[in-house]
Amino acid sequence: MLRRLQRRDTLPAFARLYMAGHWDADGTQMAAAIGQAVVRHGGAQPTLRRFPWWAIPLVSPVVPLARALREVRQLWSNPLRLRNTRLLEVLGEEPHTPADAAVEATLTGSGCLPTPLSAPAH
């Protein structure tokens, strides 16, 4: 973001500079990264299961979240990639945080990882 801001005088006010990011074709890499972060923080290895899409229509009449999930299901069924061509033209490269580090920082910042027990104060 800082590198984009440094070039703001040469870009249109609403320039679209997409990041390609980390590609995970089937979601298993993200699930594995989350599991590894949990284990590194002393938690148990999470059990992974497929999402029960079949149940969503059954509960959607009474669960608003289920109705919303039905509307965006195609995002899980069809691959969607953003092209970073314009970003590369402007910056020359796409800045990257390693995927494992980004996942761990996000989970930590969201309070989702078990906190290690600290030593008692003396």
47-50-54-55 Cα dihedral, nearest 10 degrees: 20
pTM here is 0.71
First to last CA, the chain: 44
List C-alpha distances in Å: 122 to 103, 115, 118, 119: 34, 20, 12, 9
69-107 tens-digit pLDDT: 999 988 888 888 899 999 898 888 998 899 999 999 999
Residue with tokens 């033209």: 89
55-72 tens-digit pLDDT: 999 999 999 999 999 999
